[in-house]
Amino acid sequence: MDIRDIARLSGYSLGTVSRVLNGHPNVSDKARMRVLKVVEEVGYEPNSNARFLKMQGRTAIAVFVKGARNLLFADILERIQALLSEADEQADVVYLDEDENEVLYAIHYQQVRHPKGMLFLGGDPAFFKTSFSRVSVPGVLVTNTAAGLAFKNLSSVSTNDVEAAREVVEYLFSRGHRRIGIVGGNRALSQVSGRRLHGAEEALRAHGIELDYERDYEPCHFSMEEGYDAMVRLIMRSPDLTAVFALGDAIALGAMRAVFDMGLSIPGDLSLVGFDGVNSSQFSIPRLTTIRQDTRLIATRSVETLLACLGGETKPVREMVPFQLLKRESVRALLPEDRAGSAPVADGGDDASNAVAATVGVSAGRAPETAKAGRTRARAFRVQVSERRGVI
C-alpha cells in the first residue's frame, strides 16, 4: 500500500494526496477529509517513505488553529511560534474550520506525521472526551479547559470564561442597561462561547431577567464578517436593545460597523462590549470595552507546559489565567427613564447608511422571520451598503 493506492481509493490526484499527507493548507476540506478517511480505513502508515525517514529526526510540534479568522488566535499563535523557535523546536501550524472536529484531524495527523506534541487553539472538550484517548503524544488545550477530562497527556491553559461574562453583565447593569442582547458563538457548554453565554445568563438571572434566546441572542462564527451579519439580524429582531455583549472582539468589531451602517451610533444608541482584548480593539472608533485575555501569558504557559511534558513531566496541568475588564468608550450610562428599553433612534451615519437601513426595514413592528430569511436580509444589507459606498 502506497500513496498511489490512497489516490486511487480516494479519487483524488497524487498531488492532492501528497498535500494532504504533508499538511499543506491549500487543500479543500472535502478533499482533506476524504483522503484522511481512506488513510484511516486502510491503516496506511508512511513509515517506509524516504521523506518521512529524513524528517524523523526533526519531528515537529503540531499547532492546530481552529478558526483562521479569530483575531485572538493570531496574537497567541505569534507568541507560541516565537517561544518554540527559542526552544529550538519546529512548529507545524494547521488551520481548521471552526466547526471541524480537531481531535479526529489530530488522530489522522499523528498517524501520518508523528508529531512529538500538540497544541490546540480553540478546541472543543466534547471532541476530546470521545476521541482523545487515541492520541498518544502530550497535548495542551489553549483557551479552553480540560477540566473533567481524565487524560494524563492532556493539559489546558485558559481564562475563566464564565466569571468574565458575569463581570460584563454586572458592568452593563451598573451603567443602567436592562435590555441586553448577546451575539456570537453557539450554546454548546463544552465550547468557549457556551460558557460565556452561561455566565451572562446566570448574571442576568441574578437580576431577575431570563435571557430570551429566540429574541435576544444571535449565534455566529468568530469573524468580523459574521459579526456584522449577526448584529444586523439581532437589531432587526430586537430594536429595543440598549446594549450588546459580543462573545469575541472579532465579532464585536464587525458588529460595530453594522451598527454604524444602520444609521445608529455606539455608544449613543447602543452600547457594545467585546471579549478577548485583541490589539485592534483599542484602535476602533469608539475604543471597544472588552474582556482582556492575557495572550502573552496564555501562550507562554501553554508552551512551557507542553515542553515540560515532553521533558518527562507526567502530571497534567489545568491552569486559569487572570482576565481584566477594559472599560473604554463603547458603553454609556443610561438615564433612569432609558432603562426600560426603547427603540434606538438614528442620530448618526450617512445618507447611504440610512437609506439602506430603511430599505431592509429596521423596525420594531416588522413581523418575525425565519433564521434563513434573517441571514439573507443581513447579507443583502451588507452588500447594499458596500455598493453604495463604492467598496465593492
User: Are 235 and 252 members of one domain?
Assistant: yes
Helix or strand (DSSP H, E) at 376: helix 371-389
Give average pLDDT by consecutive 10-residue segment, the chain, 392 residues. 82 80 73 86 65 52 90 92 92 91 94 94 92 96 92 96 98 97 88 94 97 96 95 96 97 97 96 96 96 96 94 89 97 78 42 46 44 60 60 48
Q: Which residues contact 88 (CB under 8 A, 6 or more apart)?
A: none
**pLDDT the model gives residue 321:** 96
**pLDDT the model gives residue 390:** 54
**pLDDT the model gives residue 364:** 37
Residue 170: burial class (beta carbons within 10 Å; 0-12, 13-18, 19+)? middle
User: Are 212 and 255 members of one domain?
Assistant: yes
CA–CA gap between residue 268 and residue 344 (Å, rounded): 9
**pLDDT the model gives residue 338:** 63
Q: Are 302 and 141 in contact (CB under 8 A)?
A: no
Q: First CA to last CA across the chain, in angstroms?
A: 50
**Domain contains 131:** yes
**pLDDT the model gives residue 219:** 96
* Residue 287's CATH number: 3.40.50.2300
User: Are 193 and 284 members of one domain?
Assistant: yes
**pLDDT the model gives residue 378:** 61
**Domain contains 51:** no
DSSP output for 194-249: HHHHHHHHHHHHHTT----HHHHEE-B-SSHHHHHHHHHHHHHH-TT-SEEEESSH
CA–CA gap between residue 309 and residue 116 (Å, rounded): 10
Q: Are 143 and 164 in contact (CB under 8 A)?
A: no
**pLDDT the model gives residue 52:** 44
User: Are 230 and 331 members of one domain?
Assistant: yes
In sequence order, the β-bridge partners of residue 246 are 183
Q: Look-up: residue for cell 493548507?
A: 25
One-letter identity of residue 95: Y
Q: Are 305 and 84 in contact (CB under 8 A)?
A: no
User: Are 185 and 312 members of one domain?
Assistant: no
**Domain contains 55:** no
**Domain contains 139:** yes
User: Are 205 and 339 members of one domain?
Assistant: yes
**Domain contains 110:** yes
Domain count, the chain: 4
**pLDDT the model gives residue 41:** 87
User: Are 13 and 152 members of one domain?
Assistant: no
Residue-range definition of the domain harbouring residue 87 = 61-159+295-322
